[in-house]
Amino acid sequence: MSENNIYLPYLLRIAKITEEAPSVRTFRLEFVDEEAASSFDFKTGQFGLYSAFGEGESTFCIASSPTRKGYIECTFREVGRVTAGLADKEVGDIVGFRGPYGNVFPIDQWRGKNLLFITGGIALPPLRSVIWNCLDLREQFKDITIVYGARSVNDLVYKHELKEWEERPDVNLVCTVDPGGETPDWTGKVGFVPLIVEQLAPSPENTIALVCGPPILIKLTMPLLKQLGFTPESIYTTLENRMKCGVGKCGRCNTGKSYVCKDGPVYTLDQLNQLPAEY
């Protein structure tokens, strides 16, 4: 009896590379195998293991929206062996992908609600998938607000898309950079993301909040939202624990009784509160 090898990746060809910020790139990836291309499906919030053959695998979210067919995108910062190997790749080169893994943002349950995205730095990619998914189904949702910040203007990722969201009348984008990170022609806000959220004072009424960022952003934003009246069930985040297998076996992402790769990466604050703070 022969079973499938769950560690065998799909092969994908790099169709496009976008330089987002210093050391940060986005790959648009297309399946080499036509059958895989047509059968592959995922939902927003899911992730995968991306391989640079010769270096290994790294875990990133799928940063594109499932409404955009024929490709997936990932955005990564060059920090280690695998991401350096990926950064060396050029258009036309082959990378590996295992996935989609993990649970999803339940956007079907959010019809008729306002969506508030709060994110910083390179934590925008997982929410970018949700943002485009919801924008592609725009009539299903009410107000869409995005608060996004980075250390400096240059560190903002998806600069072209930020411009597009800024220009759309049906999106309220608030961009900010940390004090000292602004340029002379910067027209956005200056200040840390939680401070900007505090100034914005979004209403919790009929609103789902999605928060994703470095630990300090999460730590400061969660109490703020609670103070504003958001319930723990209405606040979502996505965790990015270190993983090797992605399929609930290697043990790395285990936190309390949860395996982030299986029970996550998407958690409500309510669920997060029941986990030990080991993420």
Residues that bind other proteins (CB under 8 A): 1-9, 11, 51, 53-58, 77, 79-80, 83, 92-94, 96, 214-215, 240-242, 244-245, 247-252, 254-257, 262, 276-279
Closest to other proteins by CB, 120 or 188: 120
Nearer to other proteins, 245 or 269 (CB): 245
Q: Of 55 and 143, which has the nearer Cβ to other proteins? A: 55
The structure tokens 């909040």 sit at 209
Token pair of 34, please?
């036509």
Q: Give phi and psi for 167, each to the nearest 5.
A: -80, -20
Min dist. Cβ of residue 41 to other proteins (A): 17
Which CB atom, from 164 or from 278, has the smaller least distance to other proteins? Answer: 278
* Smaller CB separation from other proteins, 96 or 149: 96
Q: At closest approach, how far in Å is the CB of 88 from other proteins? A: 12
β partners of residue 254 = 259
Cα 1 to the center of its chain, rounded Å: 39
User: Do the Cβ atoms of 117 and 151 come closer than 8 Å?
Assistant: no
Minimal distance, residue 84 CB to other proteins, in Å = 11
Taking the least distance from each CB to other proteins, the nearer of 2 and 187 is 2
Residue 97's identity, in one-letter code, is: F
- CB of residue 218 to other proteins, shortest distance in Å: 11
Angle, in degrees to the nearest 10, between helices 193-200 and 215-228? 10
Between 11 and 195, whose beta carbon lies closer to other proteins? 11
- For the bound state, the minimum distance from the C-beta of residue 278 to other proteins, rounded and expressed in Å, comes to 4
Q: How far is the CB of 92 from other proteins (least distance, A)?
A: 6
Question: How are strands ordered across the β-sheet holding 47-52?
Answer: 56-61, 47-52, 94-101, 10-21, 24-31, 72-77
User: Phi and psi (nearest 5°) for 150?
Assistant: -145, 170
Block residue for tokens 């910020």? 21
Amino acid at 209: A
Closest residue by Cα to residue 159 from 61, 29, 19: 19
Alpha-carbon distance values, 91 to 31, 63, 88, 98, 237 (Å): 14, 18, 10, 20, 32
User: Taking the complex as a whole, how short is the minimal distance between the CB of residue 156 and other proteins, in angstroms?
Assistant: 18
